[in-house]
Chains A and B, each alone.
Chain A
């Protein structure tokens, strides 16, 4: 049997410069440079700083990925790159670099959807995805519920957040509680010491007439802020652990309930969860509990592969090569709001 194609993946949709190498469904390397430290003091990603950092990191990160995989650039059979959604200026650094490597190495180029890549990365650890699967992607930028009949060419959106992304709510609540940015890890840690039932925060969009697969976290974030401010006004100490645990519970309760509901409604018995918030320990635990109860097989990538990285892009690229999907046109660009239905373009 001939060796499977070696795919080089580029991810620059936000603040991480991720370069990954995948052969077939085997992860060979995953090199990452991040400008997060430069954004921390602003409490959010500064697009221009992220774009400058991508340019600086690009070639060194590609070299590191190749070295880690023990291959050379000339071994590469195809190049894949995140073409959207994401920050335009950041995406364009990756797209331009990927196009140049593809041209210089004379290999096909695949511009891919960042969200579909978050799903594809799970195949590197858990093998071929069952199709159809339900996928839930939760991060600082996305909160989406997807039906995936065919990861290479048919991904459908069932729902999404109508306001804040789940990870964004973590960041904002962390700020209210005086915890560092990004807010996910410190809230997860604080919550471990707290009582999740201490405060009953609202569950957004769970009423009988609400959109069943859409999410809303803005009201929850405001409710937490009001609760904390009332405490402070009263001169009482803020129980950071209890607030963290109760807030986190409200988020993961809604996420997992809707994901399981989507599986049941569509007769699908496989659920994949990806994105940075999938690193949250309570989300992983509650999703497992509810999937077990509902007879659903749950797949979550390891924490390292949940956050943005180049391997996820290479993984989807590899899927596209295998499925015989046509490569991107030579005038490929970036689309900051690329719809999920466009798996590759």
Chain B
């Protein structure tokens, strides 16, 4: 089955096209990892176009969509999830959501990513890649992680550990989705992990004029 995978939970947006079968495993046909910072909404659909073109595939060829559900900064995270949901709705495709941290690194590890506000998103995994704890959000000093740690290297000092740079990958997204592929999809619930800050915008319609 042909799977379009995407993730916008970290500053690097990831889009990939993979062929997956229960016996043949995963073959990534094309992939883009774009350092897009706050520009996920601008750059996501162009990246999807590029990936499809490179693989010589069309939207009509897809069998499923996989999207990261976070945790990650909310505005960017929603861009990826709503994009996947819209693809699924427009083309009648199943859309499966996975924890974005599951798609970073492999094997026994802890994963940390930037949660803003000087905190990290974290999760830990056993030797088979099964998630043991998390996802959670904490100050790096309080994050219950153990070596080896992969993910956002900027937190190495505050974690007091070596962090090996790693990003979300297409292969990681598809791997995390394998138990879901071919099953009826469940509603996509973003992993926000924090409640919304209830500071009202000054106006009812907060358009700035």
> Does B75 make an interface contact (CB < 8 A)?
yes
Q: How far apart sit A233 and B208, CA to CA, in the bound complex (Å)?
A: 35
Q: A86-B205, A165-B209 are known contacts; what are 11 more A-B pairs with Cβ within 8 Å?
A: A45-B203, A46-B199, A58-B82, A59-B89, A89-B78, A99-B83, A103-B48, A104-B59, A105-B90, A140-B203, A168-B202
Per-residue B-contact encoding for A92-107, CB less than 8 Å = 1, 0 else: 1101110111111110
> Does A14 make an interface contact (CB < 8 A)?
yes
Give the secondary structure class of B's interface: helix
Q: Which of chain A's residues have a CB closer than 8 A to the CB of B83? A: 96-97, 99-100
Question: A59's contact among B86, B203, B207, by CB below 8 Å, is which?
Answer: B86
Per-residue B-contact encoding for A126-150, CB less than 8 Å = 1, 0 else: 0000000000000111111000000
Residues of A within 8 A of B (CB-CB), count: 64
A97/B59 in contact, CB under 8 A: no
> Does B128 make an interface contact (CB < 8 A)?
no
Q: How far apart sit A122 and B190, CA to CA, in the bound complex (Å)?
A: 37
Q: How far apart sit A308 and B206, CA to CA, in the bound complex (Å)?
A: 13
Can you report 27 residue pairs joining A to B where beta carbons are below 8 Å apart? A14-B204, A14-B206, A45-B201, A45-B204, A45-B206, A46-B198, A48-B197, A58-B82, A59-B86, A59-B88, A89-B75, A96-B40, A96-B82, A100-B83, A100-B86, A100-B87, A103-B49, A103-B59, A104-B86, A114-B207, A141-B205, A141-B206, A141-B207, A144-B209, A167-B203, A331-B42, A332-B42
In the complex, identify which listed stretch (A187-195, A219-227, A249-257, A333-341) lies at the interface while the others stay far away.
Answer: A333-341
> Does A47 make an interface contact (CB < 8 A)?
yes
> Does B43 make an interface contact (CB < 8 A)?
yes
Shortest Cβ gap from B175 to chain A (Å): 24
Q: Which of chain A's residues have a CB closer than 8 A to the CB of B199? A: 46
4 smallest A-B Cβ distances: which pairs?
A: A141-B205, A44-B200, A141-B207, A140-B204
> Does A317 make an interface contact (CB < 8 A)?
no
Per-residue A-contact encoding for B85-113, CB less than 8 Å = 1, 0 else: 11111110000000000000000000000
> Does B39 make an interface contact (CB < 8 A)?
yes
Number of A-B contacts (CB under 8 A): 176
Known contacts A55-B82, A58-B82, A331-B46; A45 and B89 CB within 8 A of each other: no
> Does A62 make an interface contact (CB < 8 A)?
yes
Shortest Cβ gap from A284 to chain B (Å): 19
Shortest Cβ gap from B192 to chain A (Å): 7
A51/B74 in contact, CB under 8 A: yes
Q: How far apart sit A44 and B90, CA to CA, in the bound complex (Å)?
A: 34
Known contacts A87-B201, A171-B204, A333-B42; A161 and B82 CB within 8 A of each other: no
Chain B, residue nearest A336 (CB): B208
A97/B86 in contact, CB under 8 A: yes
